[in-house]
Structure 1
Amino acid sequence: MKTLLMITGAALALAANPATAQDRSNDRAGDIQFKVLGTAVLPDGEIEQVNVDIVGLPANTQTAASDNYVPTIAVEYFVTHNFSVETIAGITQHDVDAVSGLPGAELVSDAQLIPATVTAKLHFDLGDSIKPYVGAGPTYFLWVSDKPGAATIPLGVTDTDLSDEFGVALQAGVDVALGDDGFGLTLDAKRYFIGTTARWFAGDVLAIETEHNIDPWVLSAGVSYRF
């Protein structure tokens, strides 16, 4: 996080310097940019706190969420030449497994997440075609599906619930134009700061409740078209 904040601060200083701004005659305020990306979602998933445990988990139980690789789409609107607003569309799926205490035990299966995110971005120029950017904005993690993990079913667990939560995303990346027709390549990195509360139910009884860091890195690469 410290590194991304330093990059953001440097970019703000550059954007505020008239020497780095593109000539007004080339200003493309009002442009829209579409991006089609391959994305790696690399979450944490560790337990921060145990609130309820009638099952008797081992004291050293710790968990991790699985990585996932998915296609995503980004849509970006340029308010000015150097300032834009972007949102992403995609869905990602993860399991949660124990890594200590009950190593290898699957606790949550096929948890599907929509990471609704909007970022405000600052762009600056490094030559005619290379345009790095930084950004930040709110996110809302919406869990649309989750199932009890295989290791919990023999314990009588019948349902699992992951709480939807608000958080923050920091972003840095670069757009590389390919000629003058609007096509380009893009590289993007986001770090999210967000958690969730996981609950396991046996019938109507809350058997386990734990709070988790998710805090994923989301790394993307793909193609873009700006018009």
Structure 2
Amino acid sequence: MKKTTLLSLAAVALACAASGAQAQSAGTFIARLGATQISPKVDSGDLSAPSLAGTKIDVHKDTQFTGGITYMWTDNIAIDLPIGLAFKHDVVGAGAIDGVGKLGTVKSLPITLLAQYRFFDAKSTFRPYVGAGATYARFYDTHATAALSGLTGGTPSNPTTLSMKNAGGASIQLGAAMNLGGHWTADVSVMKVFIKTTGKLSTGQTIPATLNPTAVQVGIGYAF
């Protein structure tokens, strides 16, 4: 359902592009609504002892409704603040425990601030852009499964719990803004975030993981 929404918004954005648009000039604010899919590209370390050698994790992607606010500092330089709901990711076994299934879930709330350079004239219909900035990810509301307890010696009366350390990192972005006519714009972007975290179990064991997610965002905006 979420994947269909993401693709539908992208199709609308591409199909509606037209000339005679509201200028994205200095002093303009653009508020947008859409959807974002975050796909971690995990490079997991090993779970600390006592554990089976090569015990690793992977983190699955998620899609949520999102939005954002863009301020045109000049005709070509913009400041962008993405806003959205928290993402919920499944944490699954990998490496020596690949195939054991879901070990838990974690919610992530990324806070990102970007500076963008938008090419072409402020009145252009199509304006590609590049961006760079920083992201701080808050990880919370983690839930472990019985599978994790089974691997780490937890019991029904004393199950193993999971937490993940908040972390920050650099972000780079490539995107395009399309004027749809009047005050309306469409926006499509791909962002790469370089971020590492550490998972910690109630047993005292830890597991480091480089997440480095890719975020694909589409949205419809209104300039004012």
State if a TM-score over 0.5 links the two structures.
Answer: yes
- Structure 2 residue identity aligned to 1:123: R
TM-score (norm 1): 0.79
Q: CA deviation at 1:97?
A: 0.8
Given that 1:49 and 1:210 are in contact with CA atoms closer than 8 Å, whether structure 2 keeps it comes out as yes
1:223, 1:184 → 2: CA distance?
Answer: 6
Whether 2:86 is the aligned partner of 1:87: answer no
1:183 equivalenced with 2:216 (yes/no): no
Question: Which consecutive residues of structure 1, in runs of 5 or more, have no partner in the other structure?
Answer: 1-25
Contact 1:148–1:160, Cα closer than 8 Å, also in 2: yes
Identity percentage of aligned residues? 23
Residue 32 in structure 1 maps to residue 29 in structure 2: yes
Is the deviation greater in 216-225 or in 124-133?
Answer: 124-133
Deviation at 1:53, TM superposition (A): 1.9
Aligned residue type for 2:107: Q
Change in CA separation of 1:108 and 1:136 when aligned onto 2, cut-off 3 Å? farther
Q: Which runs of 5+ in 2 are unaligned?
A: 1-22
Q: Report if the CA contact (8 A) 2:93-2:103 is conserved.
A: no
Aligned with 1:53: secondary structure? coil
AA matched with 1:149: T
- Give matches, 1:126-145, under 5 Å: 128-145=124-141
Residue in structure 2 matched with residue 149 of structure 1 by the alignment? 145
1:199-225 deviation digits (Å, cap 9, x = unpaired): 1113xxx1x201101100000112111
Runs of 4+ with deviation above 6 angstroms = none
Residue 72 of structure 2 aligns to which amino acid in structure 1?
F
- Equivalent runs, 1:100-115 vs 2, <5 Å: 100-106=95-101, 108-115=103-110
Distance of 1:97 and 1:38 partners within structure 2? 24
Q: Does the 8 A contact of 1:106 with 1:149 survive in 2?
A: no
TM-score normalised according to structure 2 size: 0.80
The answer to whether structure 1 residue 76 and structure 2 residue 78 are counterparts is no
Match of residue 59 from structure 2: 65
SS at match of 2:202: strand
Aligned-residue RMSD, C-alpha: 1.9
Residues 1:199 and 2:200 are matched in the alignment: yes
Q: Give aligned pairs, total.
A: 194
Question: Counterpart of 2:222?
Answer: 225
Distance of 2:146 and 2:187 partners within structure 1? 39
More off after superposition, 109-118 vs 119-128: 119-128
In the alignment, does 2:6 pair up with 1:46? Answer: no
> Residue 33 of structure 2 contacts residue 68 of structure 2 at CA under 8 Å; is this kept in 1?
yes
